[in-house]
Amino acid sequence: MKNGLFQIGLVGCGGMGSGHAIALHYGTGTAVYFATDVTKKMYNSEVTTDISKIMALAGVYDIDPERCEWAKGHGMFVYENYDAMLADPDVDAILIATPNNFHKEQAIKAMRAGKHVLCEKPVMITSQDLLDVMAVSKETGMVFYPRQNREWDEDYLVMKKIYDEKLIGEPFHVECRIMGSRGIPGDWRGIKECGGGMMLDWGVHIIDRLLKMIPEKVTEVFAKYTYITNKECEDGLRMHLTFESGMTAVLEVGTCHFISLPLWTMYGNHGSAVINKWRFGFEPMDGKIVRLTSWEDKDTTPILAGEGLTKTMAPRMANSIEEKPLPEIDYDRNELYKNFAMTCMGKEEQIVTQEHALRVLRLMEACSKSNAEGVVVKFEQ
């Protein structure tokens, strides 16, 4: 602690790291690549924590001199190397935002130096790596915190509210799709030995959130990867999951989609919900809930669909359904940063636990096994 603030040293100041640097240096918690007058300000929310009153950026280090100069341009302190950061007695914790293959070594080194660790996702490349890190965390008494930040995405929290409060009745199926058209970024994310590929990039996020949303065991998983734009690492994937209650889910990540399907869809026995895309800026969230008002209106006149008639697929009469907007929510956008610091100070329980991150990694490995062998993999049975 220095000046009453929890001090964080940031290693890695590239794409994700620079976002953390901006968020912590300006005290907003808003992770952006380029700082502007807008992003240097707090998000307009009644419940978002002002992290500038809790923590501060002690300094950064990156192996790229250009990124170090970028940091200096913002008035950030730049360490000579990682060892110098670890040797600084004012640094309470290390935020690791380096390529995936460096996470394990850097995390262990930090904890052995008496520093807590907040680690970018995926926290490790394998579940065994995480078990090794968890052992060091227990041995040293240092907090190891997986930064699985998309548990705080607004779209996810809206769908979780719909699920938890049964706003469409009893949910029986959910789908989440992250779709782009630019292939894998032209950096280490396309290199297997660096921990590249879309499973470790985006798959970890959508699995993480689904396991938090549905508090059940996953009994089966079937996955298929694609290698359309990159032959070394998967550039897309689709996962089919079955939960012990019979609830099912489809999760998909794609980087060669020029027409995107909805970001979220959820189906319940009394309605459906959809979110078409992320909210951009201050525009309303694009989506809706359609609820059934009566199951009695089952019969109808057949319609012509293609070259045949169908009653089953005829649209419902307007008086048997109602359309509602998505629920509005406000939430603490800086809760992860705050919870990490408070956990390290012994004032709060860790929200994103090591055990949860381990479960996510093990499910990711089950998906890879399914893809490699072309089989349904039993899980948590």
Nearest C-alpha neighbor of 225 from the set 206, 194, 258, 251: 251
Closest CA to 339 of 327, 329, 349: 349
* Strand spans (E) along the chain: 6-11, 55-61, 93-96, 116-120, 144-147, 171-179, 218-226, 236-243, 248-254, 264-268, 271-275, 287-292, 303-305, 308-310, 321-324, 377-378
Q: What is the mean pLDDT of residues 240-244?
A: 98
Spell out the domain ranges in the chain. Answer: 6-147+333-349, 152-331
Q: What is the mean pLDDT of residues 130-144?
A: 98
Q: Which two tokens stand for residue 187?
A: 């950096």
Contact 88, 8 (CB under 8 A): no
Indicate if the pLDDT at residue 82 is higher than 80: yes
Q: Which amino acid belongs to residue 204? A: V
Render pLDDT for 42-65 as a digit per residue (tens, 0 to 9): 556 778 899 999 999 999 999 999
As its CATH architecture, domain 6-147+333-349 has 3-Layer(aba) Sandwich (3.40)
pLDDT for 39 equals 52
Confidence of residue 15 (pLDDT cuts 50, 70, 90): confident
Domain 152-331, CATH number (from 3.40.50.800, 3.30.360.10, 3.40.630.30, 3.30.420.40): 3.30.360.10
Q: Which of 16, 30, 2, 9 is nearest to 76 (CA)?
A: 9
Residue 47: count of CB within 10 angstroms of its CB: 11
* Percent of the chain residues topping a pLDDT of 70: 96
Spatial neighbors of 125 by CB under 8 A, at least 6 apart, are 100, 101, 103, 104, 195, 200
Residue 9 · residue 81 · CB < 8 Å: no
Q: Which residue has the higher pLDDT, 106 or 35?
A: 106
CA-CA-CA-CA dihedral for 208, 211, 213, 214, to nearest 10: 170
Report the pLDDT averaged over residues 302-328. Answer: 90
Measured distance CA(379)–CA(363) in Å, rounded: 8
Given a cut of 70, whether residue 351 has pLDDT beyond it is: yes
Q: Model confidence over 213-234: pLDDT tens digits?
A: 999 999 999 999 999 999 999 9
Which residues share a beta bridge with 176? 251, 264
pLDDT in tens, 353-367: 999 999 999 999 999
Q: Is the model's pLDDT at 297 over the cut of 80?
A: no
Calpha distance 75→19 (Å, rounded): 15
Q: What is the pLDDT of residue 38?
A: 45
Residue 36 has pLDDT above 70, yes or no: no
What tens digit of pLDDT does each residue of 252-294 get? 999 999 999 999 999 999 999 999 999 876 778 899 999 999 8
pLDDT given at position 2: 92
**What are 88's two structure tokens?**
């600084």
Residue 41 has pLDDT above 70, yes or no: no
Same fold, 6-147+333-349 and 152-331: no
